[in-house]
A and B are shown apart, each in its own frame.
Chain A
Amino acid sequence: MEVNGKPGNKLFRVCIYRVFSALLVTFLILFTTNVFAEASAAEQKKKGEFDAGKVIIDHILDAYDWHIADYGDTHITIPLPVILLYEGKWHFFFSHKFHHGKDAYKGFRIAADGPKKGRIIRVMDDGITPDPNASFILDLSITKNVFSIFISVSLLCWLLITVARSYTHCGPRRAPRGLSAFLEPLILFVRDDIAGSAIPKDKVDKFLPYLLSLFFFIFFNNLLGLVPFFPGGANVTGSISVTLTLSLFTFMTLHLFANKEYWKHIFNTPGVPVWLKFPIPLMPIIELVGIFVKPVVLTLRLFANITAGHMIILGFVSLIFVLGASGTALGFAISPLSVIFIIFMNFLELLVAFIQAYVFTFFSAIFFGMAVPDEHH
């Protein structure tokens, strides 16, 4: 087995390298062409007018259907389920009923403008005018981001459970191989450099599963967000709802495990002059604000970083069409430069994907470390 396994294994590895490099090349080509296609469709619609801001925002925002490509005037999209609770009644239907936002269905439509732009609103019988008496719509639709989360979560679970199985199968007396060898440095990085450096040694194990899941979820979704075609392409970690949820998880975990020292530190900060606490409780107020600032900062940092990265890449793509609108030759002339910048930005975003996952996890770990200080100081 061992003797036969070696050359086969090597062949397999060579194949994997080839597939990876092929994928990388396709990824770069498809990214540019795909965006070209979509951007050109937008261009056509406006008849020569290219609205870069609209294209960029459309790519960054969540959507009720998953737009894959345009072919001529045909939009290739995956319709996603719309789930609404309105006035105690559930409504289930697929998003293609809206015809990409052009039509109303069952008295609902996607708002084209106004404060609720892009969200589902109740309309009058004419199908256009927003209903001024409409009550609250609970919108639990499986949007593009939700669907992307489902895909990435399934992939993540499958990947990590496969790895876990290989660990149980091979036992502790064997060096990790294959996927495990790829993931183990990351796992050890989270364990030793993130959790180990921020949380007291004896309490690391309590937070480690959460921190690992958090790190891999963010990292995985950041990477998927960079893949321009179907299973990727959604701006999951650049969505404020997602980052808010993640930081709320950190917030909840923090206060679930926080010990007495933590609360004492907030309401009666040691080593601070008394006049800062009494009669005006200045320090407690600052510390209390700090509790809520932490998740907000986490939310905004991840959201802003990922969104900005996507915007810059889309901006370079749009540059071609903005210039192309004023002259085809100019568009062609600028495209090599744009493509070079896009490639550069993609590599930068690969780095950012890792750094932001690291930063979010690291700050969570630091907050956990502050929540469970040693009792004796």
Chain B
Amino acid sequence: MELVTPGIGLIFWMTLSFGLVLFILRKFAWRPILSTIKEREAYIAGSIRDSKRIQRELAELDTTKEKLLVQAREKADELLQQAKREGEIVINKAQQQAREEASKIIEAAKNSIHAERKAAEREIRKQIVNLTVDMTRRVLQDEFSDVGKNNQYVEKLLEDIQLN
């Protein structure tokens, strides 16, 4: 019977002790332990979230990098092509200019040669005429002793020749 009969003394001390345990543990044990565990869980969850985000960002960065590389390569190719084209243009222009210059020089030379030739021809003709006149005068010295008349005649002859 004693086994199943509660004793007042034991109940009293048990209530006191357990009440004290509840109070002490609640204040000095469970509060710090539970809050630390909660904080740790939040920290771990946050870290996992962060690492996932970073991974995602890294993947994004990777694709961006690839894209940038491709773009850069394209741009470089384009630049190279453009440079080539521009170079060709410049060369062409230079060649054109040179050709033009050369043709101009040739033209000028031609002109000057032409003019020289004309002058030379004229000179030669004059000489020929003079020689002829001289010859003629020497031949016809007597007949044409009058110098004035001669000159008139020479002029007339010149005119004729020119008209020819």
B8 shortest CB reach to chain A, Å? 6
Chain A residues closer than 8 Å to B10, beta-carbon distance: 62, 143, 145-146, 239, 241-242, 245
State A245–B22 Cα separation when bound (angstroms): 13
Q: With A157-B25, A172-B43 as given contacts, are A213 and B13 in contact (CB-CB < 8 Å)?
A: no
Contact of A164 among B11, B14, B19, B32 (CB under 8 A): B32
A163 shortest CB reach to chain B, Å? 7
B147 shortest CB reach to chain A, Å? 135
State A145–B12 Cα separation when bound (angstroms): 12
Chain B residues closer than 8 Å to A209, beta-carbon distance: 22, 25-26, 30-31, 34
Contact of A119 among B2, B30, B42 (CB under 8 A): B2
Question: A143, B9: Cβ atoms under 8 Å?
Answer: yes
Chain A residues closer than 8 Å to B31, beta-carbon distance: 164, 209
Contact of B29 among A61, A164, A241, A248 (CB under 8 A): A164
Question: A240, B5: Cβ atoms under 8 Å?
Answer: yes
In which size bucket is the chain A interface? 35 or more
Residue of B nearest to A139 (CB): B9
Q: With A160-B29, A163-B33, A240-B4 as given contacts, are A210 and B22 in contact (CB-CB < 8 Å)?
A: yes
Chain B residues closer than 8 Å to A246, beta-carbon distance: 14, 18
B6 at the interface (CB under 8 A from A): yes
Question: B29, A161: Cβ atoms under 8 Å?
Answer: yes
A93 at the interface (CB under 8 A from B): no
Question: B8, A245: Cβ atoms under 8 Å?
Answer: no
Question: A140, B36: Cβ atoms under 8 Å?
Answer: no
State A104–B10 Cα separation when bound (angstroms): 22
Contact of B2 among A117, A142, A167 (CB under 8 A): A117
Residue of A nearest to B47 (CB): A173
Residue of B nearest to A165 (CB): B32
B59 at the interface (CB under 8 A from A): no
Chain B residues closer than 8 Å to A217, beta-carbon distance: 18, 21
B7 at the interface (CB under 8 A from A): yes
Question: B13, A142: Cβ atoms under 8 Å?
Answer: yes
Contact of A173 among B18, B25, B43 (CB under 8 A): B43
Q: Which of B1, B9, B25, B34 has the most CB of A within 10 A?
A: B9
Question: A163, B9: Cβ atoms under 8 Å?
Answer: no
Question: Chain B interface: which of A184-192, A275-283, A331-339?
Answer: A184-192
Chain B residues closer than 8 Å to A164, beta-carbon distance: 28-33
State A57–B30 Cα separation when bound (angstroms): 38
B91 at the interface (CB under 8 A from A): no
A178 at the interface (CB under 8 A from B): no
Residue of A nearest to B5 (CB): A240
A149 shortest CB reach to chain B, Å? 5
A7 at the interface (CB under 8 A from B): no
Q: With A117-B2, A208-B34, A245-B18 as given contacts, are A172 and B40 in contact (CB-CB < 8 Å)?
A: yes
Q: With A145-B10, A150-B17, A240-B3 as given contacts, are A167 and B36 in contact (CB-CB < 8 Å)?
A: yes
State A173–B43 Cα separation when bound (angstroms): 7
Chain B residues closer than 8 Å to A212, beta-carbon distance: 25, 30
Question: A241, B6: Cβ atoms under 8 Å?
Answer: yes
22 A–B contacts from the bound complex (CB under 8 Å)? A115-B1, A118-B2, A140-B13, A143-B10, A146-B9, A146-B13, A149-B14, A160-B28, A164-B33, A167-B36, A172-B43, A188-B37, A191-B34, A208-B34, A209-B22, A209-B25, A209-B26, A213-B30, A217-B18, A245-B15, A245-B18, A307-B3
Binding site for B on A (CB under 8 A): 57, 60-62, 83, 115, 117-119, 138-143, 145-146, 149-150, 153, 156-157, 160-161, 163-165, 167-168, 171-173, 184, 187-188, 191, 208-210, 212-213, 216-217, 239-242, 244-246, 248-249, 303, 307
Binding site for A on B (CB under 8 A): 1-15, 17-22, 24-26, 28-34, 36-37, 39-40, 42-43
